[in-house]
Chain A
Amino acid sequence: MMPQAVRVLVLAGLLLGARPGFSIDTDAKLADPVQQATYERLTSEVRCLVCQNQTIGDSSAPLAADLRREIRQMIEAGRSEEEIKVFLLDRYGDFVLYKPRFKATTAALWLAPLLLLVAGGLGLGRIIRRRAALPVPPDDEPGDDQPSADGTFDDRPIDDRPVGHRDEPPTAAKG
């Protein structure tokens, strides 16, 4: 049996050495780290149209591999991120980007959540104002609306009642 400290060190060493063991995109990294970052950003924003809920970075579809290769070549050729996005939009349409461009056909998509939030907020505000304007009903006053054993009502707040009152929990249970 290894001492605790040794075991912790071994575990820490193993975790430090851990890398994602499985990745769809097995191509070598681009030499330039800036280009590699652009590549990773693009492949995580471009939809694979074969398996529509995956990005081309996550998809094992042959088309996704082709598009990754295409994007890589364009980056290496010095094309900008914007140029590459336009290249894809020209061929596959707005749906190819996970964040579609804001324009007439996508305006509803972008604005609907905001409109719903505003409408919900206004509705909530109205309800709160209306409730706040209502008088507090006498029933909600602190006290007890059940008759005591002697048939009278005890209107004192709970904390003001004598210990041993029938409503009190056992003394031991009191915090």
Chain B
Amino acid sequence: MWRFLLPAGVFALLVAVFLVGLGKDPTLVPSPLVGRAAPEFSLPRLDDPSQTFSHRDLLGKTSLVNVWGTWCSGCRQEHDTLLALARDSGIPIYGINWKDDQQLAREWLATLGNPYVAVGVDQDGRTAIDWGVYGAPETFLIGPDGTVLYKHIAPISLAVWREQFLPRIAAAGSGQ
């Protein structure tokens, strides 16, 4: 009896492990930042380098921090969604322009539209390391107390917004 049940059981276990495991995307690495305070930073602003964009700007309201660059095709892909969110969601979107040509970045926003309340320039990638960024685009949801509520790796879409962001914003208790 056991000599049939045991291999069958082991096989079933392997099938279950592979069903779960192979369905996952190995390029999505969960961020240890979720549930912790957003990293401290202070970056010169893209529109006016004499001013800064820092973690203190994120306090007091739920906000998004979007890491982007003009070299990043996924950022172009999600740009219209960001514009729509900036217009309709009531949630301020901040940008971190990651290792980019600032002139190109300014042209990008002038041509395609600017969804950002403020954009900080991370020229050497130091701030991106503190945020655990390993690709663009990445979008962080920040609570009013400055806590990282969620990190989305990949272009954001309205479906992603509805399924991943809205429930967390509602749970944080301050949708607006």
On A, residues with C-beta under 8 Å from B are 49-50, 52, 62-63, 66-67, 70, 89-93, 95
Q: Is B154 an interface residue (CB 8 A)?
A: no
Q: Are B32 and A89 in contact (CB under 8 A)?
A: yes
Q: Are A62 and B99 in contact (CB under 8 A)?
A: yes
Residues from chain B with a CB closer than 8 A to the CB of A90 are: 32
Q: Is B23 an interface residue (CB 8 A)?
A: no
Main secondary structure of the interface of B (DSSP, over half): loop
Q: Is B18 an interface residue (CB 8 A)?
A: no
Contact of B125 among A62, A92, A95 (CB under 8 A): A62
Q: Are A49 and B124 in contact (CB under 8 A)?
A: no
Which of B41-49, B89-97, B128-136 lines the interface with chain A?
Answer: B128-136
A28 to B102, CA, bound (A): 29
How many Å from the CB of B130 to the closest CB on chain A?
6
How many Å from the CB of A49 to the closest CB on chain B?
4
Q: Are B26 and A52 in contact (CB under 8 A)?
A: yes
A49 to B124, CA, bound (A): 18
Q: What are 19 sample pairs from A and B whose C-beta atoms fall under 8 A apart?
A: A49-B135, A50-B135, A62-B125, A63-B128, A63-B134, A63-B135, A66-B124, A66-B125, A66-B126, A66-B128, A66-B129, A70-B129, A89-B32, A91-B39, A91-B131, A92-B31, A92-B132, A92-B134, A93-B29
| Closest partner residue, chain A, to B6 (CB atom) | A123
A66 to B99, CA, bound (A): 10
How many Å from the CB of B3 to the closest CB on chain A?
11
How many Å from the CB of A96 to the closest CB on chain B?
8
New A-B pairs, 13, CB < 8 Å, besides A62-B125, A66-B126, A70-B126: A49-B134, A49-B135, A50-B134, A52-B26, A63-B134, A89-B32, A91-B33, A91-B130, A92-B32, A92-B132, A92-B134, A93-B30, A93-B32
Q: Are B129 and A52 in contact (CB under 8 A)?
A: no
How many Å from the CB of A107 to the closest CB on chain B?
15
A92 to B153, CA, bound (A): 13
A63 to B27, CA, bound (A): 15
A63 to B26, CA, bound (A): 18
How many Å from the CB of A15 to the closest CB on chain B?
40
Scoring B residues 75 to 118 as 1 if CB is less than 8 Å from chain A, else 0, what string do you get?
00000000000000000000000010000000000000000000
Residues from chain A with a CB closer than 8 A to the CB of B131 are: 91
A150 to B171, CA, bound (A): 95
A52 to B27, CA, bound (A): 8
Residues from chain B with a CB closer than 8 A to the CB of A66 are: 124-126, 128-129
A52 to B25, CA, bound (A): 12
Q: Are B125 and A93 in contact (CB under 8 A)?
A: no
| Closest partner residue, chain A, to B135 (CB atom) | A50
Q: Are A67 and B32 in contact (CB under 8 A)?
A: no
A49 to B130, CA, bound (A): 14
Residues from chain A with a CB closer than 8 A to the CB of B39 are: 91
Scoring B residues 14 to 30 as 1 if CB is less than 8 Å from chain A, else 0, what string do you get?
00000000000011011
How many Å from the CB of B131 to the closest CB on chain A?
7
Instruction: Report which residue of B99, B129, B134 has the largest number of chain A beta carbons within 10 angstroms of its beta carbon.
Output: B134
Q: Are A91 and B126 in contact (CB under 8 A)?
A: no
| Closest partner residue, chain A, to B32 (CB atom) | A93
